[in-house]
Structure formats: C-alpha cells, structure tokens
Structure 1
C-alpha cells in the first residue's frame, strides 16, 4: 500500500484562513453576511484515519456511491480489494486482540442490510435512526458499540446511500421525539445519522455525510439531520448549502477521560474549534457531553471543560447550541467485550458501585446510584445555565 502525496489530494486542502460567515435562504442558497474571519480559529491539519485494508463487495459495485467512495479511497493511494462474494473474510486473528486490531484497521464498502433500511426510533436523541455506516475507527475504552454489533468491529460504509436518503420521506412527521413534542417541535422530524459510527472519522473516505447535508439542505420540509463526532475535520462542510437543516454535535469530555480513554480521536480543543467553525457558518451545533463520570475532582475537571466550551462559542452571532448529557453505563455483555479489547483499561465497571436498571425486554444495565446522578445533574444544570444561558439542554440520561 502506498500513500499519495498530500499536495496531490484535493480533499486534503486546508480551510482557507479567511472566510465569510453565511446564512442560507429558503432555497438553500448562501447569503454572505459580515466577515467573521477574525473570530475563526486558525486552519490546521485535521486528524484522519487511514485504513490498512479496504474491501468492496460485488453487490456494492451496483451502486453509484460505491464508485465515488472507491475514487476517494484510491486518490489517497489506498488499494481497494474487490471481493468475490458478499462475505467479509480475513478479519479474525488467533486471539481476540489480533481480531480487534485486524477489524479496526479494515473498511468494507457494502450494501446496507434490509433491517437498516427500516428506520427505528432513537429516543431520546431523535425521531429516527438512519445509518450511513456501521463501526468506528476510534479506540474509546467505554465504546457504546461494544456488545451492540455482532462480529469483529469492522467499519462498514454503505454503498446504497442514494437509496437510503431517497427512502426518508415517508417518515416525515411520523416520529414521537421531535415531530410531536412541543418543547422540540422547532427541530422538525429529526434523523440521527451517527448511532453506530463517527461521521468525521470517515467523511474524507466516503463523502456520505456531505451528500446527506446537501440532501437535507434541499429538502423543503421541517426536517433536521443530526450527527455527532469526536473529530475536527469540518473543512469540507463549511460553505455547503445546509439551509440550517443539519445539527452537528461534538462529543466532549473532561481531560482525564478524553486524554486516557479516547484513542485515535481529535483533542477536545480541536473538536471545539470545529464546532466554532460550523457555528460561524450558520449550522446549528451541539455538545454531546458523554460519558459523564464522577471521577475524583469531577467538578474541577468538568469546570475546565466548560471553560473551553465558553471560549469556543464566545462572540458567535445567532448561536444555536444544544447539549445532551449522558452518564456512563454498561451491560454485562459490553463489559466482557471491552475488557477483551482493552484489558488494561482504567474504566470503572465495578457493578457493586452501580445500580441495576432493567430494560423493557429484560436487559440489564449498570448505571450510577440515584444520589450520584442527582448530584451530577444538579451541578451540570446549574453550571450550564450560569455559563451558557443561550444553550438548550435536550435531555439528561
């Protein structure tokens, strides 16, 4: 595998240091406003994943978007292996750790399974979950995908993107989280596109979320595309005709968590710089504060995080900022998987320090005790209201 020269790849061109903030009219056309270049963080190279192996299935080749992905990948000097069958092989090693390493360095271009095309509710985040990919190249020691997805953690990107987006209209107005709730009705019908992946970890290889943003920008209806990320590669989204119909949230945590437990991701300051860039370009933005943990000195650590957030949004005109507050939880299955992936983790998964929560189908989840949850919720609610009065907290869980 060879790597193309960086200066030969258009997708690697950095965001120009000066840009004009824009709003968007009803047709999605940009309407330039005042020059806000002095408010923008300086351009810097974004962190990007380079898979060691990229494969494509025969069925995927029937879709135009697959060829767009192949073109992007090969432009980066990465060979795309054409599989003879629609079955992934070569991603299991002799040990669980070897399997993890092989799978985490592999990207597969596939057709989404039929079950993914039938959208499911995704409370409390949004009305509907729409998947453009499955799997994530990051190495977060608390990974929520552990135990949720079957088989080795290969990143699968969906070739049938055009069909996925084309099938969304029947869901318009049919959800129960934002479609019909008065306190979030202004968001319209919401579609969550990052449940099982991180869009900015993959966008330079797929272009899928760019097309989704443009699709929603042209959709003349009360709708919103939503996704969240731990990366900062936002250059390609600045200037898109998004029409304010995409909310990008950045997952943030205090430094003891982000620096020790979120391998392969962008730093929190870089993520917040990305949030600022998109907010200046008129995007609704958000904070996914997760997973919140009552570490030793947690008020000090999270207070420092809120200092960084305050600085990141300072002076942004017409700021539309939300927050979703999610405490750490785990299941017996996810604990087993995570300890196999990260045997030396410092993540606290001591069941004796947790309360058992039962799901409607009999599943078991370990959450923090009620008194800890109340104390943390009260602190975050008060601090966010004091520091960021314009912020709207969507939920706590």
Structure 2
C-alpha cells in the first residue's frame, strides 16, 4: 500500500483525536506528524490553493485529515440508492481525472475520515427504523431501502485506514429492511471476511482498459476488479457493476464490446444470476478541466470535447458539460443494446 498511501502528516481536530476511533486511527500511523486544525473543512494549505496542482498526487498519498462529522442527514436519492447516508469519509487517495469531489474541496482532496462513527451509526439506524417496510419495488431495489454509504469517497480504500466501513456493513447486516451500497475502483480483499449476509451491495466500476489507463489513476486494474466479483459474491455481498463514466471517442463502442466479453468470461453463474448495472455517461466540469490541465492534460483530450458536448449550469452555478442532447440518446441506445446482446443476464438498473 505504500505506493497508494504513505501517511506522513495528519491534520486533526482535537475533538476527533479524543474519540476512540480517532485514537485508533492515530495509532495506526505513529510516525506521522500531527497538525492540529480548528476544522477539517478549513485547511488552507490543502484546500483552495491552486499551487497544489503541482503536488496533486503527493498530497493524496501523504496527507490524512481526521475530523468529526457535524451535520448528520440522509438525503433522498432515488436512482442509485434510495438515500445517501451521512458520510464516514470524503476525499480519496486515488486520482480519477473525472472525479467531482475536487470541485467541492478545492485543488486537493486527500482522505478525510470522521471519528464519530457511533453518532453516524445511531443516526442511520434511526433513519432506517423510521422508513418502515419498503412499500413497493423501485429501480434501487425490489425489497430493501438502499443507503449509499460512499458518495464522496471509496469505501474499499477507506477501510484500509479505519474500521468505519466495517462498522456500517456490520450494522446493515442486522437491518432487515435496508441494505448498504457503495461503488469502488479499489479491490480490498479484507472485506471478504466481514460476512455481510447479503445486506451490502458493492458496485465495481468498470470501463475499457484503454480508458482506465488514462483516466482511472492509482486505481486497481479493471481486470483485477472483474476477477474479484465471484469472490465477493461468494463472501455474501450483492455485486453490481457501474459502467461509468462512459467516454465517447473513436472506437469507443468496440472497446466496450471487448469489456463486456471480458466481464462475461471472467465471472461465474452465481455472479451472473444477480448482476445488474448502472450506465453513466461522462459529465465533466470547466473548473476541473482547468485543474487537470495543470497535472494531467492528456486526460483532457478525452474528457473535454467541445465539439461533442453542451454546457449546462448546475444548481451551484458551476459550468458542467455533457454530451449533446440527441447525440447522447443515440450513444445510450447503442451501449444498452450492446449490453443486452453481449451480457443479456445483466439487468440495466438505469442509464443516462
């Protein structure tokens, strides 16, 4: 793990350092310098400093932030999950060129871990209890309320730093009306020992290897993700796939056909019987485009395609780009048709 995480400096809120989980995390990295901060949100040398572009990957590898989650809320989602659970972490040590998290945190986004896991667990348990039994099937799940526990981080990687993810997976094991869910690009086989009993859905994100080599920086290789699927199904996880983000370029559909054939050959009957997919075409952002030009301009040759994209201003005023209306519909139809032909057992939960 030293290539991915080599924690040398921990920015820590005093309240977090005093909690049991905070003490555990600090004990895992005894050689790391500790820098006391007032708030995990406000660390000038990490966030909002454009000169950090030159240290983008180094900061991800060497810095860790330890804080307390102040605001606890479960937001309705309705597509990938019924609710977005309060996060136990945000940021990431990986460096996917299309990631939206840097848009919120500035020019660097190392992992921030929240130490008040007991409060987060208590909130989630009460929220699930208030929902009662799910009244009708929807595209999230036919029976259970689905809670995404990793909206702003990668839980498989977070689990290398703390037991927060394990605590949540063990919590959902005993919640018969709900299940946890998270997407990942990191294969962490420690999770195979956690006995989720079908109450956690892992979504392995997949894309053609040619795209992943350029865009999925510091992640587990796509072939390794596919090779892990059968093992996670056998360990009691529900395993889905995210075809995301789908990037349109010359030869894109042929490469997706190759990926689907690779997936079909790489998983067994048990995985195929429960497999479902989310299909998400690329949405990019002007500010992130400018950041990427400072550290990984080659990626922008695929991500920033004005001749194919149209601008849409988001609710927070940011300028996002997505494939042009009309053209995108044809792209979606072409890929979903390909999925139906090459992997007909793979149910498409949604595609956009």
State the shift of 1:147 in Å: 1.2
Matches within 5 A, 1:110-121: 110-114=67-71, 117-121=72-76
Partner of 1:25: none
The equivalent residue for 2:267 is 313
Question: What's the secondary structure of 1:323's corresponding residue?
Answer: strand
Is 1:70 matched with 2:26?
yes
1:252 alignment partner in structure 2: 206
Residue 126 of structure 1: aligned partner: 81
Pair 359,353 (structure 1): closer, same or farther in 2 beyond 3 Å: same
For 1:261-301, what per-residue CA distance to the aligned partner results, in whole angstroms no more than 9, with x for missing partners?
A: 21111100101122221012231111111110121111211
Match of 2:100 among 132, 140, 144: 144
With over 3 angstroms needed to count, the CA separation of the structure-2 counterparts of 1:268 and 1:372, relative to structure 1, is same
Aligned match for 1:278, one of 205, 227, 232: 232
Which deviates more, 153-162 or 46-55?
46-55
TM-score normalised per structure 1: 0.78
Q: Does 1:84 align with 2:40?
A: no
Alignment of 1:16-27 (within 5 A): none
- Larger helix proportion of the pair: 2
What CA distance in whole angstroms lies between the structure 1 residues aligned with 2:242 and 2:254? Answer: 19
Q: TM-score, normalised by structure 2?
A: 0.87
| Equivalent in 327, 339, 350 of residue 372 of structure 1 | 327
| 1:95 counterpart residue number | 51
**Which residue of structure 2 lines up, in the alignment, with residue 229 of structure 1?**
184
Please give the per-residue CA displacement for 1:173-229, whole angstroms capped at 9, x wherever unaligned.
778xx875544442521111221111122212212212211111122x310100111
The equivalent residue for 1:196 is 152
Alpha-carbon contact 2:19-2:115 (below 8 Å) kept:
yes
Deviation sequence 1:65-113 (CA, Å, 0-9, x none): 2223233x23xxx524333343446547782323534532311121123
Could you say which residue in structure 2 is the equivalent of 1:329?
Answer: 283
The equivalent position to 2:305 in structure 1, one of 350, 353, 357, is: 350
**What residue number does 1:167 align with?**
123
| C-alpha distance 274-122 of structure 1, shift in aligned 2 (>3 A) | same
Matched residue SS, 2:270: coil
8 A Cα contact 2:82 2:140, kept in partner = no
Query: Are the structure 2 counterparts of residues 48 and 348 from structure 1 closer, same or farther at C-alpha, using a change threshold of 3 Å?
Result: closer
Judged with a 3 Å threshold, the aligned counterparts in structure 2 of structure 1 residues 350 and 183 are, in CA distance, closer, same or farther, namely closer
Give the alignment partner of residue 289 of structure 1, picking from 243, 255, 272: 243
1:156 aligns with 2:112: yes
Query: Do the aligned partners of residues 182 and 312 (structure 1) sit closer, same or farther apart at CA in structure 2, a change above 3 Å counting?
Result: same
Unaligned stretches of 5+ in structure 1?
1-11, 13-45
Cα deviations by residue, 1:118-169 (Å, 9 ceiling, x for unpaired): 2222342112222111101112122222313346323201111121111013
How far the C-alpha of 1:364 sits from its partner, in A, is 4.0
In the superposition, relative to structure 1, how do residues 256 and 361 fare at CA in structure 2: closer, same or farther (>3 Å)? same
1-structure distance, mates of 2:317, 2:14: 39
2: CA distance between counterparts of 1:47 and 1:167? Answer: 35
Question: Any conservation in 2 of the 1:193–1:227 contact (CA below 8 Å)?
Answer: yes
Residue 393 of structure 1 is matched in structure 2 by 348
Matched residue SS, 1:152: coil
Q: Is the 8 A contact 1:127 1:179 kept in 2?
A: no
Describe the SS at the equivalent of 1:383. helix
CA contact (8 A) 2:83 2:147 kept: yes
Are the equivalent residues in 1 in contact too, given 2:52–2:107 (CA < 8 A)? no
The offset of 1:368, in angstroms, is: 0.8
In the alignment of these two chains, the number of paired residues is 343
- Rounded to whole Å, the distance in 1 between the matches of 2:317 and 2:217 is 33
Q: Report the more deviating stretch, 132-141 or 149-158.
A: 149-158
